[in-house]
Amino acid sequence: MMELAGHCFHCQKEVFCMNGFFQGEVSDSGETLCFICAEKKEKESNDETASNSEDGINLR
């Protein structure tokens, strides 16, 4: 069984609930996120020094 639970706050992708398991995450602020965006967000919050790079392209 698969139910549409909502849309990802970041990429607008449909997030489903499958057999009672939510196929995504809800952030502290109540945003529904797909797994991909939730994973990305987790990585970003783990790397606090990246918080000031929003207007730049990271050149390596």
Interacting residues with Zn ion (CB under 5 A)? 8, 10-11, 13, 34, 37
Q: Which residue number, 30 or 59, has a Cβ lying nearer to Zn ion? A: 30
- Least CB distance from residue 44 to Zn ion, whole Å? 13
CB atoms inside a 10 Å sphere around CB 35 = 14
- Least CB distance from residue 14 to Zn ion, whole Å? 10
Q: Which residues pair with 8 in a beta bridge?
A: none
- Least CB distance from residue 18 to Zn ion, whole Å? 16
Contacts of 14 by beta carbon, 8 Å cutoff, 6+ apart: 4, 6, 7, 8
